[in-house]
Structure 1
Amino acid sequence: MKSIGAVLTGALALSASAVTAPAAHAAETGVVIEKLSVNGGKPIVLGTSQTESFTISVTASDDSGISEDLAFLQIDREVGDDYWSYHGTPTCTAVNATTSTCKLTVKLDSGWGVPRNTLAGKWDVTVQLKSRDGDLYNNGGAAKHPVLRRATLSVNAGPEPVAKGKPITVTGKLARANWDKRMYAGYTNQPVKLQFRKAGTTTYTTLKTVYTNSTGNLSTTATAAADGYWRWSFAGTSTTSAVTTAGDYVDVR
């Protein structure tokens, strides 16, 4: 059996107007998609809780105007036997006589939460709208948007204080959400950058790249040359979000 998720909600929140797909035109109907935004143009990043939310927003126009009748927005993905969908009827607000913005806010709940691990990646975004004179537009899920597993990252640098020129050890752990088990687990064999910012400056410099071990842990040594902040930075993957720690200050004497 396929695993299926669906969330039906009204549009309750505004999102930024970042374009995540080119403007689309249904020549046979005259309906034009002026702007499409999913989660404000940022990847949808889901952890393990049921409190996540995101917004799909589309601005469309037609000579006769846009009707709420048959309006439908969906983001979904199918991989093998796994399928998940977040969808619903948006609320459409007229911008002028010919143009409307339709928004759907998806809120995860205890009934339909996060999907399966296999489904992380690029999801299909479906837009269906109807003009007031009866023309129907459907993009067939042609737009794409990433839905990623949330990553967490920790850092600890020491000893503190440390004598100038002596070694310090920087440790940490990279983990990511396991949607199947609703928990976080170490992300193994991943490149993570060790970065340093000298006290009194604003820019971090990458010193080296360290790979996580079989449990997601990180450990390396560096020379203490000046007071400053040490951090780890993970660039993310096609299935997992990027994450950077705050700087851990080390006093060099």
Structure 2
Amino acid sequence: MRRRSAFLAVSAVAATAAITVPSIATSPSHGDTAITSVVVNDGRTVVLGADRRETFRVSVTATDDSGIRSVSPVGVWGPKYGILKVSPMRCVRQSATTSTCTGTVSVDTGRKQVWNDEAGTWFVDAQANANDGDDARSGAAGGFSLKRASRLGVYGLPARAPAGSRATAQGWLSRVWWDSGDYHGSPDDHLQLLFRPDGGDTWTPVADEVTNPLGQVSAGVRLTESGWYRWVFAGSKWTGPARSKAVHVAVR
């Protein structure tokens, strides 16, 4: 059995999504203590690249009529026995009854502290402890997405072309292999080819394609006006989003 890490963390990238849990049922609990909110990575999706050390925050808000003494223990777990260790939580009192406690998690993908099959949905395991001895515990107090970083390239379009001619826009989508620290083609993913005319500010889809087993796509386009083309990948449950650079075609 391969070694599983006790540490994991996150790289937040430009195009990410928030997962915030505004209200959580906790079980088991004693008294009126409740965990009311969990925010991971400041509400952004976790996307990890290769050979990097990253850190993210875990914040837990809890309430009790006597006030919150601490939030501990706290851990993070995911698919295939993935585990994250959260640092000691520092609590800030929001009111007489409510506190928000925050800790950090770090991971170094270059040291193989996370594996390919651990991408997906992760959960926070937390216990809130009140001043009067009450407590609330949840093994899935909040959730977030941990994804593999991706890259997307565009090829094949001419710099100049006559009006009405046709060209083929090619693309290649790859995603990181945490197991090996490099990138490989990502198959069966949906990509869009977008076009923006010169002087315009709106990108319009002109083709939808699915990557082949090597992560490649191609789409034929008729060139009627000058402008910019790029491929875009919205991301999936396991893979972060990506977009290629924009390439210009001058139509004469």
Matched, 1:231 2:233: no
Matches within 5 A, 1:13-162: 20-24=20-24, 26=26, 28-68=30-70, 71-79=72-80, 82-109=81-108, 113-156=112-155, 158-162=157-161
1:108 partner SS: strand
Alpha-carbon deviation of 1:155? 1.8
Cα pair distance change 1:154/1:86, threshold 3 Å: farther
Instruction: Note the alpha carbon deviations across 1:157-201, whole angstroms, 9 max, x for none.
Output: 521122111122322210001111111111123221111111222
Q: Secondary structure of 1:96's partner? A: coil
1:74-118 CA-to-partner distances (Å, cap 9, x unmatched) read 221242xx4333433221111232221111221223796541111
Task: Please state how far the C-alpha of 1:208 moved relative to its aligned partner.
Answer: 1.4
Is residue 50–residue 114 contact of structure 1 (8 Å, CA) maintained in 2? no
What amino acid maps onto 2:74 in structure 1?
A: L
Larger deviation: 51-60 or 23-32?
A: 23-32
When residues 7 and 91 of structure 1 are mapped into structure 2, their CA distance, relative to the original with a 3 A threshold, is: farther
Residues 171 and 217 in structure 2, CA contact (< 8 A), matched pair in contact too: yes
Matches within 5 A, 1:3-22: 3-7=3-7, 20-22=20-22
Residues 124 and 182 from structure 1, CA distance in 2 versus in 1: closer, same or farther, beyond 3 angstroms? same
Q: Against the structure 1 CA distance between its residues 110 and 145, is the aligned structure 2 distance closer, same or farther, given a 3 Å change threshold?
A: closer
* SS of residue in 2 equivalent to 1:141: strand
Runs of 4+ in 1 over 3 A off after TM superposition: 25-28, 109-114
Do the aligned residues in 1 keep the contact of 2:225 with 2:251 (CA within 8 Å)? Answer: yes
Residues 111 and 157 of structure 1: CA distance in aligned 2, closer, same or farther (over 3 Å): closer
CA distance in 1, matches of 2:142, 2:79: 15
What RMSD in Å do the two structures reach over aligned CA positions?
2.4
Partners of 1:7 and 1:112 within 8 A in 2:
no
Deviations 1:145-166 (A, max 9, x none): 2111111111235211221111
Q: How many residues align?
A: 242
Structure 2 unmatched ranges of 5 or more: 10-17
Residue in 1 that maps onto 2:14: none
**Counterparts of 1:25 and 1:158, CA distance in 2:** 54
Q: CA deviation at 1:246?
A: 3.6
**Structure 1 unaligned regions, length at least 5:** 10-17
User: Does structure 1 retain, via aligned residues, the 8 Å contact 2:51–2:110?
Assistant: no
2:205 matches 1:206 = yes
| Alpha-carbon offset, residue 138 of structure 1 | 1.1
Counterpart amino acid of 2:166? P
**C-alpha separation in 2, matches of 1:196 and 1:171:** 14
**2:249 corresponding residue in structure 1:** 250
C-alpha change, 1:184 and 1:53, in structure 2 (3 Å) is same
- Name the amino acid aligned to 1:191: H
CA gap of 1:168–1:78, structure 2 versus 1, over 3 A, is closer
CA contact (8 A) 1:157 1:230 kept: no
* Structure 1 pair 110–158 and aligned structure 2 pair: CA distance change class (3 A): closer
Change (3 A) 1:6 1:111: farther
